[in-house]
Homo-oligomer: A and B are copies of this chain.
Amino acid sequence: MSAHINFLVLAGGAGTRFWPLSRRSNPKQCLELYGSKTMMEQTIDRIKHQSSKAQRYLVYGDHLRHQFESSDALSIVEPSARNTAPAIALGALIADHFDEGSAIAVLPSDHFVGENEAFSSDIILAAELALTGMIVTIGIPPTRPETGFGYIKKGVKIDKGFTVEAFVEKPDFKTASQYLMQGNYVWNAGMFVFTYATLIHEIASQLPKMAAGLSIIKTALVEDPAKSWTDVSEHVLETIKTEFQNFEATSIDFGVMENAENIAVLPASFPWSDLGHWAAMSEVLDPDENQNINHRKSGETFFYNASDNVVSISSDRFVALVGVKNMVLVESEDAILLISKSKCQDVREVVAHLKKTNPNLI
């Protein structure tokens, strides 16, 4: 069986952490970091059998129109970047309007999912729970004391999951280690399933300006004869543009989830990685016998006395690594990055430098 689900894929991420491969106009979700499809294409493939094209929405900013206009999903272009809560609320309103009462699954577009069937089963479980009036987050059971993610503290067991006792900000290492040992915390991976009715109830009490704007947009949609999102009139789009700029610019976690009633968490049963930086490539690609990751379509990489490195080469030129360990070497058409694995977060320092000196490269 399959629950009645609409998918809202957040596709607007900038993803500078995969610079120089990722760029403002070609962010992480548009890269083929594993497999022969982009992460966005893989995300869509993963939900295709659970939805028609009219039930799949991508939400993103205008600068990414060239990337997704012809994808196998409908596009909702944000009038401006106002964080995740406005984007999700608008998307949920639209999805619900054209498929009333359905479960709406919010998904990132740039995460790795290891087993699509397990993912689909979890989505179905979450949707069933969502249709009972819960906001359901899918949490990732932690495998390391990660300090880069928010955590969700599980409460009591309920049918198909747990209540949420608390959303917790990124912890320090000691706290993260405790969470890992205690076993009652999961990572917040930004995956939520709910009905619009449940969401608007929370928005009404927590984000009054957004609630008012959504109400005006809903009226415009109701008065519009369009039977699908692709056919709505200029008037609807103009109304969205006008109202959206008044929405509270906040994240879905902070603006809605942290204080929501009736919130549940379902521990994921699928392998997952947020692929948050270059070093994480070792979580999604098979290494050689010396734990080197070689990410390229053509050309040879020769490793000699080299171990635990990540290489990503866009050209077909010959590359040799000799006597090096824990290095990340990336070549794009117009840049080369050499960064130590443990410093991958500092790629943002390069991007910050380029913002001032050579913005064409970001």
Contacts and interface: CB of A to CB of B under 8 A. Distances in A.
A319 B340 contact: no
Interface string A337-362: 11110110011011001100110010
Interface residues on A, range: 35 or more
A342 B322 CA distance: 10
Given A302-B350, A304-B353, A335 B318 contact: yes
A321 interface: yes
B338 A321 contact: yes
Nearest to A19: B320
Contacts of A35: none
Interface stretch (A61-69, A90-98, A155-163, A324-332): A324-332
A342 B323 contact: yes
Nearest to A302: B353
A336 B339 contact: no
A340 B361 contact: no
A336 B324 contact: no
A137 B336 CA distance: 45
B338 A329 contact: yes
A147 B327 CA distance: 29
Contacts of A305: 343, 346
Nearest to A358: B318
A244 B319 CA distance: 40
A317 interface: yes
Contacts of A346: 304-305, 322-323
Contacts of A319: 335-338
A231 interface: no
A121 B71 CA distance: 75
A115 interface: no
Contacts of A320: 20, 335-339, 350, 353
A334 interface: yes
The residue among A322, A329, A354 with the most chain B CB atoms within 10 A of its own CB is A322
A300 interface: yes
Given A318-B361, A323-B343, A327-B324, A304 B350 contact: yes
A343 to B, nearest CB: 3
B322 A357 contact: no
A351 to B, nearest CB: 9
B361 A343 contact: no
Contact of A323 (B318, B324, B335, B340): B340
Given A302-B353, A327-B327, A337 B322 contact: yes
A331 B338 CA distance: 12
Contacts of A337: 319-320, 322
Interface of A: 20, 300, 302, 304-305, 313, 317-324, 327, 329, 331, 334-340, 342-343, 346-347, 349-350, 353-354, 357-358, 361
The 3 A-B pairs of least Cβ separation, nearest first, read A323-B343, A322-B339, A323-B340
